[in-house]
Structure 1
Amino acid sequence: MPPTISATDRPLEKLSADAVVVGVGKGPDGLLSTPGADAVDRLLGGRLLAALADLGAKGGEDEVTRLPTFGQGPFPVVAVAGLGAPLPDGGYAPEAVRRAAGAASRALTGRSAVVTLLAAVGGAPDAERLHAVGEGALLGAYEFTAYKSDLPAGRPTPPASYQLVVPDTGAAKAPLARIRAVADAVTLVRDLVNTPPNDLYPAELAARGAAAGKKAGLSVEVLDEKALAAGGYGGILAVGAGSARPPRLLRLEYRGKKARTSVALVGKGITFDSGGISIKPAAGMADMKSDMAGAAAVIATVCLVAELGLPVDVTATVPIAENLPSGTAYRPADVVTFRNGKKSEITNTDAEGRVVLADAITRALEDSPAHLLETSTLTGAQLVALGTRTSGVMGSEELRDTVVTASRRSGEPMWAMPLPPELRRSLDSSTADFTNSGSDRSGGMLVAGHFLAEFIPAGQQWAHIDVAGPAYNTGAPWGYTPKGGTGVPVRTLLATIEDLIAAQ
Structure 2
Amino acid sequence: MNFNITVTPIKEIKADLEIIIVIDGNLKHHSVKDRKLLKKAGFSGSQDEVCHLVEKKRLYVGAKHLRGAAIRPAAATAIRSLIGKKAYKTVKISTYVSHPRCSASIRAMVEGLVLGSYTFSKYKSKKSKSPVKTVEISLEGYEPHEITMETAARAVHNGEIAATATNYTRNIVNTPPDDFYPESMAQKAKKLAKKLGLECTVLKPKELKKEKMETLLAVARASRHEPRVIHLSHKPKNPKKVITLVGKGLTYDSGGLSLKPGDYMVTMKADKSGASAVIGIMKAVAELGLPIEVHGFLGMVENMIGGDAYKPDDVLKAKNGKTIEVRNTDAEGRLVLADVLCYAQQEVKADYLFDFATLTGACVVGVGHYTSGVMGFNDDLKEMVKKQAKIAGELVTPLDFNDYLKKTIKSDIADICNISNTRYGGAITAGHFLSEFIDEEHKEKWAHIDIAGPAFVEHVWGENPHGASGAGVRMMLRLIEKLAQEDSAH
Interval containing the TM-score (normalised by the shorter chain):
over 0.9
Q: Which runs of 5+ in 1 are unaligned?
A: 42-47, 71-75, 87-91
- Do 1:202 and 1:322's aligned partners in 2 also have CA atoms closer than 8 Å? yes
Give the aligned partner of residue 144 of structure 2: none
Aligned partner of residue 122 in structure 2, secondary structure:
coil
* Matched residue, 1:67: 53
- Paired residue secondary structure (2:477): helix
The count of aligned residue pairs is: 474
**Paired position in structure 1 for 2:411:** 429
Q: Is the 8 A contact 1:23 1:33 kept in 2?
A: no
Cα distance, 1:101 vs structure 2? 0.3
Match runs of 1:93-492 below 5 Å: 93-109=67-83, 110=85, 111-120=87-96, 126-149=102-125, 151=127, 157-167=130-140, 168-366=148-346, 367-395=348-376, 396-460=378-442, 461-475=445-459, 477-492=460-475
Question: In the TM superposition, what is the alpha-carbon distance from 1:350 to its structure 2 partner?
Answer: 0.4
Query: C-alpha displacement at 1:331, in angstroms?
Result: 0.5
Tell me how far 1:121 sits from its aligned partner.
Answer: 5.4
Change in Cα spacing, 1:158 to 1:380, as seen in structure 2 (3 Å) is farther
Measured after TM superposition, the shift of residue 451 of structure 1 is 0.3
Q: Distance in 1 between matches of 2:137 and 2:374?
A: 35
Equivalent in the alignment of 2:145: none
| 1: CA distance, partners of 2:169 / 2:365 | 24
With normalisation by structure 1, the TM-score equals 0.91
Amino acid at match of 1:466: D
Look up the SS of the partner of 1:39 in the other structure.
coil
TM-score (norm 2): 0.93
Contact 2:92-2:135 within 8 A present in 1 as well: yes
* Cα shift at 1:119: 1.9
Choose the corresponding residue for 1:498, options 472, 477, 481. Answer: 481
SS at match of 1:82: strand
Distance 1:6 1:482 in 2: 25
Cα shift readout 1:159-197 (whole Å, capped 9, x = no counterpart): 222121115544322222212211221111000001010
* In structure 1, C-alpha distance between the alignment counterparts of 2:233 and 2:336, rounded to whole Å: 20
The residue type equivalent to 2:178 in the other structure is: N
> What SS does the aligned partner of 2:267 have?
helix
* Amino acid in structure 1 at the alignment position of 2:135: Y
**Do the aligned partners of 1:394 and 1:465 also contact (CA within 8 Å) in 2?**
yes
Deviations 1:10-36 (A, max 9, x none): 12222111111111133xxxx3148xx
> Aligned partners of 1:225 and 1:131: how far apart in 2?
43
Letter in 1 for 2:50: V
Q: Is the contact between residue 277 and residue 325 of structure 1 (CA under 8 Å) also seen in structure 2?
A: yes
1:171 is paired with a residue whose SS is: helix
What is the DSSP-based 3-state SS (H/G/I as helix, E as strand, rest coil) of the residue aligned with 1:38?
Answer: coil
Q: Distance in 2 between matches of 1:497 and 1:235?
A: 31
Counterpart amino acid of residue 359 in structure 1: D
Aligned residue number for residue 6 of structure 2: 8
Give, as a single letter, the amino acid of the residue that structure 1 aligns with 2:350.
P
Q: CA deviation at 1:209?
A: 2.2
Match of 2:462, SS? coil
Q: CA deviation at 1:335?
A: 1.1
Using the aligned pairs only, state the percent identity.
36
Q: Tell me by how many angstroms 1:63 deviates.
A: 0.8
SS in structure 2 of the partner of residue 132 of structure 1 = helix
CA RMSD of aligned residues (A): 1.7
